Amino acid sequence: MTPSSTRRVGFVGLGAMGTPMSQRLLAAGFEVVGFDLSDAARAQFADAGGQAVDSATRAVNAVDVVILMLPDSNVVEAVVRDPAFLESLQTSTVVIDMSSSEPLRTRELAAYLGAHGVRMIDAPVSGGVVGAQKGRLTVMVGGEPDDVAAVKDVLDVFGRVVGVGPVGSGHAIKALNNLLSATHLLATCEAMLAGQQFGLDPEVMLSVFNSSSGRSGSTETKLPNFVLPGTFNSGFGLRLMLKDMKIAVQLADQGGAPCDLGKEAVALWSQAAEELDARADHTEIARWLKIVEANGAP
Ligand code: NAD
């Protein structure tokens, strides 16, 4: 889709997701000004036709829309609460936090920006690096309908846009989605190992699960694409997944909803995060399980 008039987007965070997402905006005809702490990420962005700058403040200067695609709420707040960030914004700019952040902190941040006349929405995504490359993400948008409408042309570039409620709602639903995703990935890996030990063929197991009630995004996508081939290269870090799981469990606790299974999943993923490399892909939870089994630990 081509923007009706050329719109300038300031993009902060050109990592595994931000790189393909910013490239899709460029391909759709938007002017994109980008910043990342990483020199390599900025160089890759410039090679793709983006205008790379050397600070977040410069990236958001005189743009229509700001997109943040950063690791977590701590980083998002460090960027947005820098007084120079606010000074660089036009009051007409809409700030979109597309990172997977903490919903209550997002509400507070939106209120802070709102007090200075700047609108903010949250629009985290699901679909991974491949979904980002192909424009097939699910975009979960929280915010005032008028603010969402003002940036719909930008969000449409990324995939299916779903309005989910007021600001912070996108971040809540995203965390809950990833708690589900992580829990069934670990459960699937456990089932696969038990089956292998019994002598079942992994490909046959997956084929049966995928036409039966045990199927999920783990059996349909993650096991066949990243685990069984041993590539473990989905592009989504294990520590980022664990961050999202903790957000979801905290959300349950705050509302008084039971979350015993979720807490157990967090405990197991936390153990994996301690034992695996800091940069481990989240699909390496399968490798971790095998290591634990080989050592005879729990
Ligand atoms: P990533 O670690 O690959 O990228 C984050 C980028 O932010 C890095 O390039 C880093 O250099 C940059 N950065 C950190 N601090 C910065 C700062 N102060 N200023 C500017 N840049 C800074 O992470 P990612 O996989 O792209 O994920 C980004 C967000 O999207 C996370 O919240 C993650 O949970 C979420 N997410 C990731 C995926 C995925 O498949 N990778 C899918 C959906 C959602």
Question: pLDDT tens digit string along 253-273?
Answer: 999 999 999 999 999 999 999
pLDDT confidence bin for 85, thresholds 50/70/90 = very high
Lowest mean pLDDT among 64-73, 96-105, 289-298: 289-298
289 CA distance to ligand 1 middle (Å): 26
Burial readout 136-163 (b: 16 or more C-beta within 10 A, e: otherwise):
ebbbbbbbeeebbebbebbbebbbbbeb
- Domain map of the chain by residue range? 8-165, 172-294
Residues contacting residue 123 through CB under 8 Å, at least 6 positions apart: 96, 97, 98, 139, 140, 141, 142, 143, 155, 161, 170
Q: How many Å apart are CA 285 and CA 273, to the nearest integer?
A: 9
235: Cβ below 6 Å to ligand 1?
A: yes
pLDDT over threshold 70, residue 297: no
34: Cβ below 6 Å to ligand 1?
A: no
**CA contacts within 13 A on the Cβ side of 53:** 15
pLDDT confidence bin for 43, thresholds 50/70/90 = very high
**Residue-level pLDDT at 3:** 47
Question: pLDDT tens digit string along 177-221?
Answer: 999 999 999 999 999 999 999 999 999 999 999 999 999 999 999
The owner of tokens 């229509």 is 64
3-state SS record for 221-244: HHHHHHHCCCCCCCCCEHHHHHHH
User: Distances from the Cα of 259 to the Cαs of 101, 184, 250, in angstroms?
Assistant: 20, 15, 9
**Residue-level pLDDT at 122:** 98
Atom in ligand 1 nearest the alpha carbon of residue 244: 34
Mapped onto helix, strand or coil, the DSSP state of residue 101 is: coil
Element (H, E) at 58: helix 56-59
236: Cβ below 6 Å to ligand 1?
A: yes
> Which protein residue has the closest C-alpha to ligand 1 atom 12?
13
**CA contacts within 13 A on the Cβ side of 248:** 27
**Residue-level pLDDT at 2:** 44
Q: How far is CA 211 from the centre of its chain?
A: 28
Which tokens belong to 66? 């700001």
**Residue-level pLDDT at 298:** 44
What is the percent of the chain with per-residue pLDDT over 70, rounded to a whole number?
95
Question: Which CATH class name applies to 8-165?
Answer: alpha beta
Task: Pick the catalytic residue from 134, 174, 243, 263.
Answer: 174
Q: Is the four-CA dihedral 200, 204, 209, 215 of positive or negative sign?
A: positive
Neighbours of 55 (CB within 10 A): 16
pLDDT over threshold 70, residue 101: yes
Which tokens belong to 170? 């996108």
Q: How many Å apart are CA 125 and CA 123, to the nearest integer?
A: 7
Phi, psi of 81 (to 5 degrees): -85, 0
Which tokens belong to 209? 């699960």
Contact 101, 124 (CB under 8 A): yes
What is the CATH superfamily name and number for domain 172-294? N-(1-d-carboxylethyl)-l-norvaline Dehydrogenase; domain 2 (1.10.1040.10)
Question: What average pLDDT score do residues 39-54 get?
Answer: 98
CATH topology of 8-165 equal to that of 172-294?
Answer: no
Question: What average pLDDT score do residues 37-46 get?
Answer: 98
Question: What average pLDDT score do residues 47-69 get?
Answer: 98
- Judging by DSSP bridges, how do beta strands 8-12 and 137-142 pair with one another? unpaired
**Residue-level pLDDT at 6:** 63
**Residue-level pLDDT at 60:** 98
**Residue-level pLDDT at 290:** 85
**Residue-level pLDDT at 5:** 62
Q: Where are the beta strands (DSSP E) in the chain?
A: 8-12, 31-35, 51-52, 65-68, 94-97, 119-122, 125-126, 137-142, 159-165
- pTM above threshold 0.75: yes
Question: What average pLDDT score do residues 34-39 get?
Answer: 98
> Which protein residue has the closest C-alpha to ligand 1 atom 1?
15
Active site residue 174: yes
